[in-house]
A and B are shown apart, each in its own frame.
Chain A
Amino acid sequence: MAVGNVFTRGFFKENPVFVLLLGLCPALAVTTGLKNALGMGLAATFVLVCSNLIVSLSRKFIPKEVRIPCFIVIIATFVTIVKMVMAAFLPELKEALGIFLPLIVVNCIILGRAEAFASKNKLLPSVIDGLGMGIGFTLAICIIGIVREILGAWMIFGIPITRGGMAYSMKVFILAPGGFLAMGLLLAYFNYLGAQRARRLALAQKGIHEGKGAPAVDTSNPTVQTINSQNMIGKTGAGPCNLCPGCDKPNF
């Protein structure tokens, strides 16, 4: 497997939060603002990289039967290091993260990567995998953090968006129910984007099979119209049909 692929797959294709649905607790609990989300993401990335490193180095002499407790102890050690460093230099952030700082230990992403990747691979790929997955996690919780902070507090990174005390905020988004709501809507949006891309790819492939080099763009093309009419079955409701890039015709 190419090193570049190991590094980048955690960003979007195998994003731990949005695609694999791992590490949901910190992803919802500390994302009331971008600052906390970033802090949490960086802390988890540090633990992920270090634990992957040690697990990969010791993979040859950890007996298979007790590997999970061994991994957990390795992870817990690094979490303790993060906790102590944060208590010394970033006490505010430590307060904000609360019990979710020690709970990095049971973040499924970290144990999952140790078990699925680092315990089977050499040092360098393991570290790169940890870094990539950590960045993917940070990216995901920062997206949730931005959405919730803008909608819930009308701020970005603790700075108000508009001056003069005007705030267009829905407070529910920084409370507990808003976390679930934002996560559900974001997941639905990413599903929608994925489905749209898959449909476009299928269409492009169909065009190639019928001897047309490029994916069909104009609506006068008979192939597209057949698919369009097939697509109509059982689907009502407005919105672009998404079948052909650049076409805004509604789907009914």
Chain B
Amino acid sequence: MEQAVIYLKIIFAAVFVQNFVLSKFLGLCPFIGVSKKRSSAIGMGLAVIFVMTLASAATMLIYQYLLKPFKMEFYLDIVSFIVVIAALVQFVELAMRKLAPALYKALGIYLPLITTNCAVLGVTQLNLEFAKLNGITLTDCLLRSIVNGVFAGVGFTLALVLMAGIRERLESSPVPECMQGVPIAFIAAACMALAFFGFAGIA
């Protein structure tokens, strides 16, 4: 029961309270760049959820079994994590082309972009906080990281898809000339962030 509450808290925080895009400013480049159409937003979101889950698991394993025993966690975490993420993205791309060509075609261009999506490296860095908790077992730590990875991705996707819906409507609305395009998208994001800010009281 206690465990379930902890996981529920992690999930709710990742999706709403600490939404990656709207309250942590992670992954803003795809948030602005890929939110013009709803279909591409959904594709990008799915790809990010997928990579974030795998990256959370892989980097936590590396941290626990390689970096920590050899006392390198302060010096090599950034380098090893980014290499793992880059390799993972490449691997996912290859595997998907072979195993799920339809999905590969749908995600196509968005997959390689994910390497430089700061949300992915961000979630691996944030997961390290679980590892620093006292009296936490290895499996528990790994499981929490994975749950956090999945639902941070879900939160990212939620923000991205909502934004795409708003921007599709903005296309046909009378926006002042100097506000057209990206500036009005930021203003809309500000309104969304204000709405999401309301969730902060729940935590």
What CA separation (Å) do A129 and B122 show in the bound complex?
A: 28
B138 at the A interface (CB under 8 A): no
Q: Closest 10 CB pairs between A and B?
A: A184-B186, A180-B190, A29-B25, A177-B193, A192-B178, A188-B183, A181-B190, A24-B28, A184-B187, A187-B183
Q: How large is the interface on B (under 10, 10 to 19, 20 to 34, 35 or more residues)?
A: 35 or more
List of A residues within 8 angstroms of B120 by Cβ? 106
Q: Given contacts A28-B28, A184-B186, are A68 and B179 in contact (CB under 8 A)?
A: no
- State the majority secondary structure of interface residues on A: helix
Are A184 and B29 in contact, with the CB atoms below 8 A? Answer: no
User: How many angstroms between the C-alpha atoms of A83 and B23 in the bound complex?
Assistant: 24
User: Across the interface, do A21 and B32 meet the contact criterion of CB distance under 8 Å?
Assistant: yes
Interchain CA distance A79-B81 in the complex, whole Å? 13
What range describes how many residues of A lie at the interface?
A: 35 or more
A105 to B117, CA, bound (A): 10
Interface residues, chain A, with chain B CB atoms under 8 Å away? 21-22, 24-25, 28-29, 68-69, 72-73, 76-77, 79-80, 83-84, 99, 102-103, 105-108, 111, 172, 175-181, 183-185, 187-189, 191-192, 195
0/1 interface trace, chain B 28-53, chain A, CB 8 Å (1 if under) = 11001100000000000000000000
Within the assembled complex, what's the spacing in Å between the Cα atoms of A152 and B191?
A: 17
Not counting A103-B121, A189-B178, a sample of 4 additional A-B residue pairs whose C-beta atoms are within 8 angstroms of each other reads A72-B115, A77-B79, A176-B24, A177-B194
Query: CB within 8 A of B78: which of A21, A28, A105, A107?
Result: A105
A72 close to B178 (CB less than 8 A): no
In the assembled complex, the Cα of A92 lies from the Cα of B5 at a distance in Å of 34
**Docked-complex contact B186 and A25, CB < 8 angstroms:** no
Instruction: Given the known inter-chain contacts A28-B25, A103-B118, A188-B179, please indicate yes or no for A69 contacting B32, CB distance below 8 A.
Output: no
User: In the complex, A77 Cα to B79 Cα: how many Å?
Assistant: 7
Contacts of A80 in B (CB 8 A): 75-76, 78-79
The answer to whether residues A176 and B78 also contact, given A106-B118, A108-B116 and a CB cut-off of 8 A, is no
